[in-house]
Amino acid sequence: MLNRLKKKIKRLIDKKKIGSFKFRMRTNALERMHYAYVCYNAAQLAKKLNYNRISVIEYGVAGGRGLLILEEYAEEIKKILDIQIDIFGFDLGSGLPKPKDYRDLPYHWKEGFFTMDEEKLKSKLKFSKLIVGDIKSTSKDFFLKTNPAPIGAIVYDFDFYSSTKIAMSMLKADSKFFLPRIYCYFDDVIGSETELYNDFTGERLAINEFNAENNDIKLSPAYHLLAQATEVWHHQIWIYHLFKHEHYNSFISEPNQQL
């Protein structure tokens, strides 16, 4: 009863936009707290490193609600931190492709799920850019075609192991396209008794393989969130660490830590 009441109050706070954006984020009242968290903290890091513009990527757009929310949060964050946030959404457009094998969880996902009405979505978007097509192709020329501001936050919602693995391979591009640490949200890593997500299929397998195959870029759970773990999404945040990035060692902490 108490939890339901808290959820209703939070929904009301978000719907009526009661208080500042930071207040709504602090009280966990935003519709997609995980989106706000990765974007805000990426922008904070960028500010400390003297960047004035960053990019945010969503892999798996579907109906587009996520991109619309990202735009809303980006505008709020710009007011607070004076950081411009560009948004890119990758999607096949025609819904999920056919699962390649057991690693794509065909017992849970089905070809054709989550189709996009591209023209309808484009008419709603303010500034996000849609990258529509097979990730095998769009991942290869994205940086050449777009020359994006450094990527600071990524939302992974491709569902499959196969497409997530390809999307993650984009991190091997020139480090100038990234912040030294990138805040990431993985949508399909918890689930229920139906999905039974595990370390040997789906997004979790893609994460494990990425870490095994790369020495200078690693994905780590956000242990500071796991230490509190008051929300499910705390278990869905990972951080890319680009150890060889020219700004990885740049000091960003409090200047005076003397006790």
With cut-offs at 50, 70 and 90, classify the pLDDT of residue 174: very high
Q: Is residue 191 part of a domain?
A: yes
Strands 217-221, 237-242: pairing kind: antiparallel
Strand-pair partners of 86: 55
**Can you say whether the dihedral through the CA atoms of 117, 123, 124, 127 is positive or negative?**
positive
Structure tokens at 95: 């819904």
Rounded Cα–Cα distance for residues 161 and 200 (Å): 10
- pTM over 0.75? The answer is yes
Spatial distance between the Cα atoms of 231 and 61, rounded to a whole number of angstroms: 23
Residue from 13, 41, 39, 43 nearest 28 by CA: 13
Residue 128 covered by a domain? yes
Residue 58 resides in a domain: yes
DSSP state, residue 92 = -
Smallest Cα–Cα separation from 159: which of 100, 118, 222?
A: 100
In this structure, is residue 4 part of a structural domain? no
Query: What is the model's pLDDT at position 83?
Result: 98
CB-CB neighbours of 176 under 10 Å: 10
Tokens representing residue 57 in the block: 């990527």
The helix/strand/coil state of 220 is: strand
pLDDT in tens, 65-79: 999 999 999 999 999
Provide the domain limits for residue 198. 16-242
Note the pLDDT tens digit of each residue in 122-160: 999 999 999 999 999 999 999 999 999 999 999 999 999
Sign of CA dihedral 250, 171, 182, 222: negative
Confidence of residue 1 (pLDDT cuts 50, 70, 90): low
Q: Would you say 116 and 62 are in contact if contact means Cβ atoms under 8 Å apart?
A: yes
For residue 7, pLDDT over 90 is answered with no
Does residue 186 lie in a domain region? yes
Dihedrals phi, psi of 138, to nearest 5 degrees? -65, -25
DSSP for 105-148, written as a single string: -TTT--TT-S---HHHHHHH-SS-EEEES-HHHHHHHHHHHH-P
Q: Tell me how long the chain is.
A: 259
Residue 160 within a domain:
yes
Instruction: Give a yes or no: residue 196 inside a domain.
Output: yes
Q: Are 83 and 53 in contact (CB under 8 A)?
A: yes
- Asked if pLDDT for residue 16 goes beyond 90, the answer is no
Task: Tell me phi and psi for residue 14, to 5 degrees.
Answer: -70, -45
CATH number of the domain at 150, please: 3.40.50.150
The answer to the question of residue 3 being in a domain is no
Confidence of residue 214 (pLDDT cuts 50, 70, 90): very high
- Number of structural domains in the chain: 1
2 — pLDDT class (breaks 50, 70, 90): low
Give the chain's mean pLDDT. Answer: 96
The burial of 12, by beta-carbon neighbours within 10 Å (0-12 exposed, 13-18 middle, 19 or more buried), is given as exposed
Q: Which amino acid, one-letter code, is at 99?
A: P
Query: Would you state the structure tokens that stand for residue 26, as one six-digit string?
Result: 């602090």
